[in-house]
Amino acid sequence: WDEEEQQEDKKVETLRWADKDADFLLQEIVQDSSLDMFLKQDLQTKRSDQKYKEMLELVELINSHRVLVVSGETGCGKTTQVTQFILDDHIDRGLGSTCRVVCTQPRRISAISVAERVAAERAECVGNGKSCGYQIRLQSRLPRRQGSILYCTTGIILQWLRSDRSLSSISHLVLDEIHERNLQSDVLLVIVKDLLKIRKDLKVILMSATLNAEKFSRFFDNCPMIHIPGLTFPVEEYLLEDVLEMTRYRPRSQDRRSSWKRGFWQGRNARPEQKEKEEEYRESWPCYARTLQDRYSDSTIEALEKLDNDEKIDLELILALIRHIVTQDEEGAILVFLPGWDNISSLNDLLMAQQMFRSDRFFIIPLHSLMPTVNQTQVFKKPPPGVRKIVIATNIAETSITIDDVVYVIDGGKIKETHFDSDNNISTMAAEWVSLANAKQRKGRAGRVCPGKCYHLYNGLRASLLDAYQLPEIMRTPLEELCLQIKILKLGPIAGFLQRALDPPSEKAVNLAIKNLTDLTALDRSEHLTALGVHLARLPVEPHIGKLILFGALLGCLDPILTIAASLSFKDPFFIPLGKEKMADMRRRTLSRNSKSDHLTIVNAFKGWEEAKHRGARYEREFCWDNFLSANTLQMLHNMKSQFAEHLVHAGFVSSKDPKDPKSNVNSDNEKLIKAVIVAGLYPKVAKIRQCPSKKRPVKVYTHADGKVCIHPKSVNAEEREFNYHWLIYHLKMRTSSIFLYDCTEVSPFSLLFFGGDVTIQKDGDDETIAVDEWIVFRSPARIALLVKSLKKELDSLLEVKIRDPAPVDWQNRQSKDCAVISAIVDLITTQEKILQHFLLLRTSYNALQCGV
């Protein structure tokens, strides 16, 4: 790279870090003899521990090879031990000050918990200049700069690369849990492979589950592998036919042929490879059924045939199996894996309907991201003797958390997975069969404290057809945010870079992402970042949300827009307690204040929380409890808003890091303008509303690409019967049982005209019309249409200047052109019901602008 350019980039990027983090991250490694001596003496006091006498082969391999794959089962200690052995080996050789180990984790909670565990093992506190620390988004407890171990999320390394493209201050880079194949880790693998050509001294250690370790070794030119044996107890496994035989459960009568007809293999969401596997399953079934006849009863085989329907998990069967475990087996917690909220809720209801499970001998805990946090903390507590814990969870319990007292696992066999259909430009989500890797992880949860049992609710034929592991995220997700990262890191042409990934995404998906970014004006036709693209790439959110943030700053409604942006990029703060779903929906609608907007509902909830928190902790707790809100999530949104504001200050769009700074919020009470800014960020995600004549039924909603769609039931607009306008803007469109719109807001015609796509003036018979991108059409007198088109042109020109050369809008100087144009449009959006009365005044204002007044 050009040295001057690199130095300039480093200066710019350094501004993005807090001072102490920047000092730490950009520290050069220089040998310090006195520190070497201190570290060596410190190690001598710990060497009596047996752990320091093990893994000599591992240390030797790391020292003699540039890249090493370390594989091992969950619980083998590779995450906590490998980093320590690297550091301690350097300290022992008198080179401690030259060792700086950075270990990536796929999740925030993992980075924190592992760092705390390692620090405890080293008889130290985490961070505070000791040997081990962590850094995640919005939070860090950093270790000493040299002779240290840092656990961080993968995203932190990608940020780090913007400031130091060769990661010159890292001696050892440990990439943990790479078998999970998330988007960022797959990208980092390609970058690291290139980096090894420049950094001859860099050591890279890849840590993976055993299932696909060879694949990573091949990617790095057949680098050596070492396996660390697991420390778990043996787990006995059972398949569906075994479960039916032992429980004598018989499903309700069902026509097997109709089950095949309805089967998932013919579903709209099924991918071609799934359809092929289901066809193979159907053809192989008669032969497989015959092989069971010697080992299982005829009634079991008949029941197995009735359970062929792939679409639903039989919760009555799980209830029967839990009963069997409780009455026939020894004590121990039961962990049930189900794909989603609806299954968890239904099984909880089934259990609660039984007198047996309502007694104080059982402790039933549903575990899902929509559950109250207080419920989730209970999952780690061991119940008293004679009380059996039953945890009903999604795949969050596979790897993200460990419940130590689990002895029995019921694997429902399904997992909810999101895929991106690039042919139709839509995300799909469905419950799919688990992979062998999922099944192995689930089985491993049963053997942590004693020998366990795992019940897989699929038959042997299905087990033989399971994929080895889930499809990598890079092959099933939109790529726009990733493409911007590739450009900001200057990694070359997007398609060329992605083609070198471990499993490249389809050419169609890449081209669609580039087209979407070009339409967003984030990339030019030559695939270079535009001024807008640079800002969007630097913001830690997907591009549409980044654009929303920038427009919130430019149009003086920063605080509410940052609340919306934080929620869309993380999650909304509402939870849903089991049995209180209707009450939670009612409270959410109350908080919407008839805004007909999910986005403004979040803003109102956040404002209410801030006011309650200001009054005291008791009021905060009461407000959150009464409105089914998570205080932890709200605090996370608060922290994210501060981070976004820092980005805007460094970029020059605002003058204060305070999201509530009055200069940035002159229009923050203007609900109509906030909705217009949401259009500016999320366009072209627009749907048309058609109200039913009787107004006794919910409205019908259509999108340009899909025809009729549904508003998601969680939305405050789901049951709405009457809207003021005919248009909705939404954040996400996803196909599950139907095509659903998530997070939607009713918006006005002027919002779409000023902040949507290209505006054209047309004739429709005798009617004069104005259209956005030719399909969003409004009737309008020609003079108003011309005014709108002219003002939009002025606005687009002004915004282009502001994006290219950011500066806060001077709202005090009403004579400045930027303030005058924006104020005219704000007035027009705000007073649209009186447009005819205001038309002459606005036209006079506009003419004055054209004359330079």
SS (H, E, C) 724-781: CCCEEEEEEEEECCCEEEEEEEEECHHHHHHHCCCEEEEEECCEEEEEECCCEEEECC
| Sheet containing 148-153: order of strands | 139-141, 132-136, 148-153, 100-105, 172-175, 203-208, 67-72, 225-228
**Alpha carbons 92 and 176: distance in angstroms, whole number:** 25
> Tell me, what's the pLDDT at 560?
98
For residue 702, give both structure tokens.
């259509």
* Ramachandran area for residue 11 (φ above 0: left; ψ -120 to 50: alpha; else beta): alpha
Q: How many CB atoms lie within 10 A of CB 699?
A: 19
Pick from 177, 101, 127, 172: which is nearest to 21 by CA?
Answer: 127
Pick from 701, 815, 705, 685: which is nearest to 756 by CA?
Answer: 685
Residue linked to tokens 């945890």? 391
Q: Taking a C-beta distance cutoff of 8 angstroms, is the pair 77, 114 a contact?
A: no
Residue linked to tokens 């396996």? 227
Give the type of residue at 751. S
∠ CA 346-348-352, rounded to 5°: 115
pLDDT in tens, 425-454: 888 888 889 999 889 889 988 988 889 999
Widest CA span in the chain: 94
Q: Taking a C-beta distance cutoff of 8 angstroms, is the pair 594, 647 a contact?
A: no
> Tell me, what's the pLDDT at 74?
66
Residue linked to tokens 């660390």? 228
Superfamily of domain 235-471: P-loop containing nucleotide triphosphate hydrolases (3.40.50.300)
**Alpha carbons 454 and 235: distance in angstroms, whole number:** 7
Q: Taking a C-beta distance cutoff of 8 angstroms, is the pair 564, 546 a contact?
A: no
Q: Is 312 helix (H, G, I), strand (E, B) or coil?
A: coil
pLDDT in tens, 466-482: 998 888 999 999 999 99
Q: Taking a C-beta distance cutoff of 8 angstroms, is the pair 193, 54 a contact?
A: no
Strands 700-703 and 362-367, how do they pair? unpaired
Q: How many CB atoms lie within 10 A of CB 497?
A: 21
Instruction: Express as a percent the part of the chain with pLDDT over 90.
Output: 53
> Tell me, what's the pLDDT at 139?
83
Residue linked to tokens 């004055």? 848
Pick from 750, 107, 143: which is nearest to 400 by CA?
Answer: 107
> Tell me, what's the pLDDT at 4?
42
For residue 614, give both structure tokens.
């200001």
| Residue ranges per structural domain of the chain | 3-228, 235-471, 474-535, 539-683
Q: Taking a C-beta distance cutoff of 8 angstroms, is the pair 146, 29 a contact?
A: yes
| DSSP characters over 384-403 | PTT-EEEEEE-THHHHT---
Phi, psi for residue 689 in degrees, rounded to 5: -100, 135
Pick from 710, 642, 724, 638: which is nearest to 675 by CA?
Answer: 724
CATH class of 3-228: alpha beta
Q: Taking a C-beta distance cutoff of 8 angstroms, is the pair 141, 127 a contact?
A: yes
Give the type of residue at 88. D
Q: Taking a C-beta distance cutoff of 8 angstroms, is the pair 458, 410 a contact?
A: no
State the pTM of this model. 0.83
Pick from 56, 54, 46, 58: which is nearest to 122 by CA?
Answer: 46
- Mean pLDDT, the chain, rounded, equals 85
What single DSSP character describes residue 668? T
> Tell me, what's the pLDDT at 253?
62
Distances (CA, A) of 202 to 105, 155, 451, 761: 19, 20, 42, 61
**Alpha carbons 579 and 390: distance in angstroms, whole number:** 18
For residue 364, give both structure tokens.
């039933």
What single DSSP character describes residue 141? E
* Ramachandran area for residue 529 (φ above 0: left; ψ -120 to 50: alpha; else beta): beta
Q: Is 659 helix (H, G, I), strand (E, B) or coil?
A: coil
∠ CA 106-111-114, rounded to 5°: 120
Q: Taking a C-beta distance cutoff of 8 angstroms, is the pair 452, 404 a contact?
A: no
Q: How many CB atoms lie within 10 A of CB 612?
A: 21
Give the type of residue at 785. A
| DSSP characters over 578-600 | TT-HHHHHHHHHHHHTT--BHHH
> Tell me, what's the pLDDT at 407?
93
Quick one: the chain helix, strand, coil %, rounded to 5? Answer: 50, 15, 35
Segments of the chain with pLDDT less than 50 = 1-19, 256-266, 373-374, 833, 836-841, 843-844, 853
**Alpha carbons 720 and 711: distance in angstroms, whole number:** 10
